[in-house]
Structures are given as C-alpha cells and as structure tokens.
A = this chain, B = another copy of it.
C-alpha cells in the first residue's frame, strides 16, 4: 500500500501480442495491477510504466475512468497532485483478471509453440501466407 512501485514490476515483453486475453486498451491491465494496493500518483505510475509516454498513459487512465474502473482525484495544494485509485467496480475486475493471468501463465508455452509452428508452416509458403497477428495484449505476467 505504501511501498513505491518497483521499476521492474513488468518485464519488457509485457504486454505481449501472444496473449489473446486483453483488458481494456494496451496498458490498462498493467495500470490496474499498479493500483491493486491503493491509490497512486501519476508520476508513481510512470515508474513501472516508463515505456509508456505521458500522453498514452493519460489516455489509458481517462479510458479507465470513463469505464468506471478508476477514480481520478485532484488533491488541493500549491503544486499539482493527482491520485488514481480503483473503484469498487475496478477492484471487482481483479477476479477475472486473475483468472486470465492464470490461464496465460499456464498455457504460455503452448501459445509460443502454436505461433511458432504456424509461422514455420505458412511462412515459407509462396502465396496466401496471410498471417495477421491478433489484436491482443498480455494482461499481467
């Protein structure tokens, strides 16, 4: 709740297009995990999410707020101070999110192998190699 978020909270291949299950937009699931232990400031979020530009992070947070999953609070004071926290609705989403993460973790190797063998088989092909990646992002792990 009070510990700062670790900079290496997520590894570089996260989110991955291999994961078919996605919560919100590309970064939403990661944001939700960052808020799991209590409210966080914008700049706190930027630490584990340093690969996300401020514009994109803001957009993602606005989208979560719009969906009722996150509440944005402007604290009074001389300098800007904004906190983001999960709403009860957002918190309830941790359940299916955990289920999705568990599934992904359990089947990660199969997902890798499946894509590899598909691409091996259809890559060398001359025509109709048609291989559109899924529009998916890896939620958590």
A residues adjacent to B (C-beta < 8 A): 18, 20-26, 28, 58-59, 62-69, 89, 92-93, 95-96, 99-100, 102-103, 107, 110-111, 113-115, 118-119, 130-136
**A and B contact pairs by CB, cutoff 8 A, 9 listed:** A21-B21, A22-B22, A59-B130, A64-B134, A68-B111, A89-B107, A92-B103, A95-B103, A96-B96
Which residues of chain B have C-beta atoms less than 8 A from A102's C-beta? 96
Q: Tell me the minimal C-beta distance from A141 to chain B in angstroms.
A: 14
A21 and B92 in contact, given A66-B114, A68-B111 (Cβ under 8 angstroms): no
| Residues from chain B with Cβ under 8 Å of A21 in the complex | 21-23, 93, 96, 100
A67 proximity list for chain B (CB < 8 A)? 18, 20, 111, 114-115, 134
Judge whether B118 and A66 touch: CB under 8 Å: yes
> Which single member of B107, B115, B135 contacts A24 (CB below 8 Å)?
B135
Whether B63 contacts A113 by the Cβ 8 Å rule is no
User: Which residue of A22, A99, A134, A135 has the most chain B CB atoms within 10 A of its CB atom?
Assistant: A134
Are A132 and B63 in contact, with the CB atoms below 8 A?
Answer: yes
Closest 4 CB pairs of A and B: A68-B114, A99-B99, A20-B24, A96-B103
Q: How many Å lie between the Cα of A1 and that of B46 in the bound state?
A: 50
A66 to B111, CA, bound (A): 9
